[in-house]
Structure 1
Amino acid sequence: MFTGLVEEKGRVVALSRGGLARLVVEAGRLAGGVEVGDSVAVNGVCLTVAERSGKELLFGVMPETLRRTALGDLSEGRAVNLERALEAGGRLGGHIVQGHVDGVGEVVSIRPEGEAEIWEFSAPGSVLRYVVEKGSICVDGISLTVVSVGGESFSVSILPQTKAATDLSEIGVGTKVNLEADVMGKYVERLLAPYLEKGFERSI
């Protein structure tokens, strides 16, 4: 489990495709606290460390992961958001993030608002159904608060500190991003499904 609070902005060293793609990331100081077999969220995708060499981490990436996420669009030198799995007893400063991407969105627009910026992201309907105003969503591994929700997109407010510490400082309109909806909404829908299917009305 993760929190969506980015610990380090890493860099892609290499991404080789094949039966099992190999993603090498320069992880900076975060690498010192990681062992082989540990889980690390890379742009919001939970991956397992296969090898560690100095500050570089190597991950094996399955074809299914490349199909379902934006990791396949990464290239050498691209910034990526890194977060280690939450330790028991650690602070949950963001929200509960599983590292299981629900869909891929795209940066639609960026506009200034005071010292902050309003970023709009397109999202598939399978993700938008769980997005609510003032709720949480994970974008490229960053826990963000939703400002507004439209028919095909949602917007968030980005503070200068968040932008500087994440890949948002280096991407722009047209960039694809990984999206993970708040897991609580998915569980609520699943639990209510039998009642809704029978036509029962529940007061929540």
Structure 2
Amino acid sequence: MFTGIVEEVGKITSVRAKPQAMELTIACSLVLEDVKRGDSISISGICLTVSTFTSNTFTVDVIPETVKSSAIAGLKTGSRVNLERAMPANGRFGGHFVSGHIDGIGVIRAEKKEANAITKTIELEPHLMKYMMLKGSIAVDGTSLTIFDVGHNTVTISLIPTTQQDSLLGEKGIGSRVNIECDLLAKYTERIQTAEPKMTKNWLSEHGF
């Protein structure tokens, strides 16, 4: 579990392509302070597991499903990524509940400077729009954000100066692909409401009631 508060920006030092999969090595410092093999680290919103590490890098394996469902395939040597360690049980939630399981890909379609903020309008895949609501939460490349406008197939978010400085989202321009994770509570609510109830009249009858 993560909070969507980016701890540092890392740099890809190696991309090893495999059939439908990848192995990434990332240079950083802060998230390595207490790293262990098997730890979960959010890499631009994607929860990945540390397989090996050194004093200044860590390596993760990326499985085919992650390659298909996220924008990670676009990373190359020299790419920069948002990093966040998994939330400790005794820590404080400064953002919102973020699982690190990407729901789809968004594309930045517009941006505008407004005083000390930068607003970005992101086009989403149609199946994600049912989870979007005004003042709701969204994670974009692992950054916890509030939705300030909802269009037909877009959402608009606003970046405060701290987010602009501490994450990569402020640097991403029009046409950039970003990882999207919808609000976890919205997804659970939708699943509960749409799940077929097991204890129906027919079920009771079939089981002797």
Q: TM-score, normalised by structure 1?
A: 0.92
Q: What corresponds to 1:153 in structure 2?
A: 154
Asked whether 1:86 is paired with 2:115, we answer no
Gaps in structure 2 of 5+ consecutive residues: 198-209
Instruction: Count residues with an aligned counterpart.
Output: 196
Q: What corresponds to 2:140 in structure 1?
A: 139
Q: What corresponds to 2:37 in structure 1?
A: 36
Partner SS for 2:131? coil
Asked whether 1:165 is paired with 2:158, we answer no
Dislocated runs of 4+, deviation >4 Å = none
Contact 1:51 1:57 in 2 (8 A): yes
The amino acid across from 1:52 in the alignment is F
Aligned residues: CA RMSD: 1.4
Q: What corresponds to 2:3 in structure 1?
A: 3
Q: What corresponds to 1:199 in structure 2?
A: none
In 1, Cα distance between equivalents of 2:108 and 2:18: 28
In 2, Cα distance between equivalents of 1:89 and 1:53: 27
Shift of 1:55: 1.3
Q: What corresponds to 2:111 in structure 1?
A: 110
* Distance change >3 Å, CA 113–CA 23, structure 1 → 2: same
In 2, Cα distance between equivalents of 1:147 and 1:123: 15
Shift of 1:29: 2.0
Q: What CA deviation, in whole Å up to 9, does each residue of 1:158-201 have, x standing for no partner? A: 112101111124321111100000011111112222589xxxxx
Contact 2:123 2:155 in 1 (8 A): yes
In 1, Cα distance between equivalents of 2:87 and 2:149: 29
* Distance change >3 Å, CA 16–CA 146, structure 1 → 2: same
Asked whether 1:18 is paired with 2:18, we answer yes
Shift of 1:18: 0.6
Contact 2:82 2:141 in 1 (8 A): yes
Partner SS for 1:75? coil
Shift of 1:146: 0.3
The amino acid across from 2:15 in the alignment is L
Q: TM-score, normalised by structure 2?
A: 0.90
Contact 2:105 2:179 in 1 (8 A): yes
In 2, Cα distance between equivalents of 1:187 and 1:37: 27
In 1, Cα distance between equivalents of 2:143 and 2:159: 11
Q: What corresponds to 1:129 in structure 2?
A: 130
Q: What CA deviation, in whole Å up to 9, does each residue of 1:101-151 have, x standing for no partner? A: 000011111101111011111101221110111010000000000000101
In 1, Cα distance between equivalents of 2:190 and 2:170: 35
The amino acid across from 1:3 in the alignment is T
Partner SS for 1:33? coil
In 2, Cα distance between equivalents of 1:126 and 1:64: 18
Q: What CA deviation, in whole Å up to 9, does each residue of 1:15-55 have, x standing for no partner? A: 12113411111122221221111000100000000010111
Partner SS for 2:181? strand
Gaps in structure 1 of 5+ consecutive residues: 197-204
Percent identity over the alignment?
Answer: 37
In 2, Cα distance between equivalents of 1:166 and 1:125: 26
Contact 2:159 2:170 in 1 (8 A): no
